[in-house]
Structure 1
Amino acid sequence: MAPRGASPAKRRLARARAAAELHPSEHVLDPAQLALFEAPPRDWSRLRTTSPPALTTSAADLVTAFSAYMNGRGWNTASFSGSVRTLRIVTGHLGADTPIRESDIRALVTTGVNLHGARVLNYLRLRGLLEAQPPNDLSVARARQYASTISSPAFAAAVHTFIDVLLGQGSKPSRARSSKTVENYVAAVLDTIEAWGTQGLSDPREITKKHIEDALKQLRGDQARRLHSALRTLFRALKRERLVFRDPARSISLTSNRPVPTGLPSDRVDGLLDRIEDPRERLTVALVAIYAVLPGQLVQLKTTDFDRSKGRLRRPGRVDHVVYLDEFTRRLATAWELHRFHRWPDSSNPHLFVNRNTAVDDSGPPISTAAVQLLFQRVGLPAGRLRADRIVDEARHSADPVRLMELFGLSTYSATRYVLSAHPDKRPGPIAP
């Protein structure tokens, strides 16, 4: 290495001399070598970064092309040096003549702070140099882990069967639930099953209606409803798979009072958009506050769902429901589209809302619902309360549940509840003889 006070010319000579002393790695993959058996996972935590190996010709060309690719997409290469460093390390040790395992890049990224793998994975996928690992759903993996921690073998096997049924993999074909729903169901019943184990119950066939009622009596509100729904689904699945003779939860009902939706004070809503400067956040809040779009629907909006020329927006999950935007919201949408184009001109993400991570991800993922919720936390108004305030305000003016169904895509039951909340005098009385 050149001394710290050396001239730029001496530093360049020192770097060139140090690069000439490097040797290629002994572990460069040979495309002509056939694999006799699957190789075990590589341990990148033992990697020595002080003396990296020299790049082969193909690896050097790949790193140079990757930097040119990032510059061509308008990215600041200096800001994403961690991505170049990741590609430099993995190709230095494995070469660039054969596809690189996705698991190697993900394992390497976990060993250092200044290592980033998302853009490397996307680029290798585009070049056909990525050996993708099988998809691993973290929610299902956590559900399996929960089931494995159950002390009773019979209950543990029953919960694993329950997971299979929820995923549509039971003995009979069925509709598969989402992986997050599977995790939530298993997490809801876990403590109750362990409590039954401490009581001496070791098999699902020993559970009676009284056991379930005693478990529900200890809970209130949302916790009781969550456990009730999970237990009913659990024993319905076990009876279907013939692991229990009868369903003890079938005849158990849980009465609960649903809160009546109410509006917000006007001083909390006035000037809401004036406190927000980001174009994406302004459009997000406007869609919730004016058109009562759910946060889960916002993240699933596609650019094809928005017709700017006609001012129409198709509500996700409701192909039969169209939102007609006013002039103000159309200006907000135009401002966001222009901002998105200037910041990420080559983004191929099909979703309407993107951030700095999803915009450059060629797999096109949506932003997380948590990011939307975090925005409303900063604003100081939960998205659910703001949405309910808009529907209640409309119900005060129209008092027509059909209009609420047309405007916001509500069900008959929800629309009626909002109308009764805004007009308590319209609550029907007892049927006259």
Structure 2
Amino acid sequence: MIGDLIISSTHRAVLQRMAEAAAAANWSAQTSGPALAGLSRIFDRHPDGQPVRLSQLNAELRRSSGARLARTVLDEVGLFLDDTESTMRLWIERQSSTLPEGFRADVRTWLIILLEGSARTKARSKSTLYAYFGRVRPHLLAWSETRHQLREITENDISQVLNALTGHQRAGTFTALRSLFQFAKRHRLIFADPTRRLSVGRAPARVLQPMTDAEIAEVKQAAVTPEQRLVVALAAVYAMRASAIRHLTLDDIDLPRRQIRLSGHHKKLSEFAHRALVDWLHDRQRKWPHTPNRHVLISWKSAAGTEPVSDYYLTWRLLLLGVQLEQIRGDRVLQEALVVNADPLHLELVFNLSSQTAIEYADIARSLLERPIEAVLS
């Protein structure tokens, strides 16, 4: 099909690269054909060498998987231009519009400053914005029954909110409220910062108990596919975080020697991890035999490119099924701490933890080791 098109050599090369990427991802002709035809239609009315706009791709390919693949290929050759408003900007507009009118504009500006940063503040991550807004929104709605602007919120209002909370929820809410009101004071939206004289101290110490037999059984029941079992194995054996699992590459795996490279250090592949890894790699090869992606975990979307799978990939396959990777990871570190008599230096070296985190796990293990036998058996 590509050979019959009267197009420039640049456009022909892009279409050829897209066809190869689709083949590497094991796309069927019914999937790749319409995507290639859509991009060629854009090229028919597009000047040679000019970037293709994201709005054009979305209009022609209707935000399909083909549009995402075309975007990846065009970006590789420097012919892609994102002319749409960022999804986070749209999220900010949508969420701030749910607030009472008196708070809406100030919160919107606060979130934009968090997103983009300023001369005095650095940009924050998406997860920070989600967390801060989620902590602040219910209290703004409650205050709106008697207050109409941020400048009307008092120190007593903040104290009442914090006194009704405990633990990490209290600490997280205070951090979010302090960020909002420090921003408002800095931009002269309020006369005084109601959080200035308040403090909740340090966040409570890490609380963790060994996983029960029932919890372990639930994980085994939920993790049934090869990739799910691999993710659980990596968290359960090596205490790997979700981000480290997503970025693990084939170059980090040495199956003949049964080794895995983590944070620059080679570790032995346990029987459990080795079996899970082999099962997944066989499944991966069967589905995407020609993928150029070197990451161990790939999906139908990432197989056509070279990027790691998204955060949502793990969320959809595990967290939404009730499998908490952090709980599994924490249980692995705690079990190791119990075996080595709560030695924080050992935990720091084995799991690449910070000194403070290793000490926290050691303290938890020590408290469990010092419990009376009656309490352990109860």
Q: Distance in 2 between matches of 1:373 and 1:127?
A: 31
How does 1:311-326 map onto structure 2 within 5 Å?
311-315=259-263, 322=265, 324-326=267-269
Q: Distance in 1 between matches of 2:67 and 2:18?
A: 14
Q: Give the equivalent residue in structure 1 for 2:135.
A: 188
What root-mean-square deviation, in Å, do the aligned CA atoms of Structure 1 and Structure 2 show? 4.1
Matched letter for residue 73 of structure 1: A
> Which runs of 5 or more structure 2 residues have no equivalent in the other structure?
371-378
Aligned: 1:387 with 2:329: yes
Q: Which of the residues 236, 245, 266 maps onto 1:289?
A: 236
Q: Give the equivalent residue in structure 1 for 2:376.
A: none
Q: Kindly indicate whether the alpha-carbon contact (under 8 Å) linking 1:288 and 1:387 is maintained by their aligned counterparts in 2.
A: yes
Q: Which of the residues 65, 83, 88 maps onto 1:139?
A: 88
Query: Shift of residue 132 of structure 1?
Result: 2.3
Q: Distance in 2 between matches of 1:416 and 1:347?
A: 43
Aligned: 1:156 with 2:104: yes
Matched letter for residue 213 of structure 1: S
User: Number of matched residues?
Assistant: 358
Q: Which has the higher Rg, Structure 1 or Structure 2?
A: 1
Aligned: 1:351 with 2:295: yes
Q: Give the equivalent residue in structure 2 for 1:49.
A: none
Q: Distance in 1 between matches of 2:224 and 2:160?
A: 52
Q: Kindly indicate whether the alpha-carbon contact (under 8 Å) linking 2:38 and 2:61 is maintained by their aligned counterparts in 1.
A: no
Q: Kindly indicate whether the alpha-carbon contact (under 8 Å) linking 2:151 and 2:189 is maintained by their aligned counterparts in 1.
A: yes
How does 1:52-67 map onto structure 2 within 5 Å?
57-58=6-7, 65=16
Query: Shift of residue 222 of structure 1?
Result: 5.2
How does 1:203-214 map onto structure 2 within 5 Å?
204-214=150-160
Structure with more relative contact order (C-alpha pairs < 8 Å, separation 6 or more): 2
Q: Percent identity?
A: 25
Matched letter for residue 352 of structure 1: V
Q: Distance in 2 between matches of 1:183 and 1:71?
A: 34
Query: Shift of residue 323 of structure 1?
Result: 6.1
Matched letter for residue 404 of structure 1: L
With over 3 angstroms needed to count, the CA separation of the structure-2 counterparts of 1:368 and 1:115, relative to structure 1, is: closer
Aligned: 1:73 with 2:14: no
Q: Distance in 2 between matches of 1:239 and 1:275?
A: 49
Q: Distance in 2 between matches of 1:423 and 1:115?
A: 51
Query: Shift of residue 358 of structure 1?
Result: 0.9
Q: Which of the residues 399, 410, 417 maps onto 2:353?
A: 410
Aligned: 1:101 with 2:53: yes
Residue deviations 1:144-186 (CA, integer Å, cap 9, x gap): 4323443345x3343234234423533x333221123123313
Q: Kindly indicate whether the alpha-carbon contact (under 8 Å) linking 2:302 and 2:308 is maintained by their aligned counterparts in 1.
A: yes
Q: Kindly indicate whether the alpha-carbon contact (under 8 Å) linking 2:227 and 2:297 is maintained by their aligned counterparts in 1.
A: yes
Q: Distance in 1 between matches of 2:110 and 2:57?
A: 34
> Which runs of 5 or more structure 1 residues have no equivalent in the other structure?
1-54, 316-320, 428-433
Structure having the larger proportion of residues in helix: 2
Matched letter for residue 295 of structure 1: A
Residue deviations 1:306-344 (CA, integer Å, cap 9, x gap): 5776935234xxxxx746233534565466556545643
Q: Which of the residues 340, 344, 367 maps onto 1:398?
A: 340
With over 3 angstroms needed to count, the CA separation of the structure-2 counterparts of 1:213 and 1:380, relative to structure 1, is: closer
Q: Which of the residues 167, 172, 175 maps onto 2:115?
A: 167
Q: Give the equivalent residue in structure 2 for 1:280.
A: 227
Query: Shift of residue 267 of structure 1?
Result: 6.8
Residue deviations 1:330-366 (CA, integer Å, cap 9, x gap): 5654665565456434433353321121111x3x333
Q: Which of the residues 236, 250, 254 maps onto 2:196?
A: 250
Query: Shift of residue 292 of structure 1?
Result: 1.0
Matched letter for residue 336 of structure 2: E
Q: Distance in 1 between matches of 2:66 and 2:132?
A: 34
Q: Give the equivalent residue in structure 2 for 1:215.
A: 161
Q: Distance in 2 between matches of 1:152 and 1:283?
A: 49
Matched letter for residue 90 of structure 2: A
Q: Kindly indicate whether the alpha-carbon contact (under 8 Å) linking 2:19 and 2:36 is maintained by their aligned counterparts in 1.
A: no
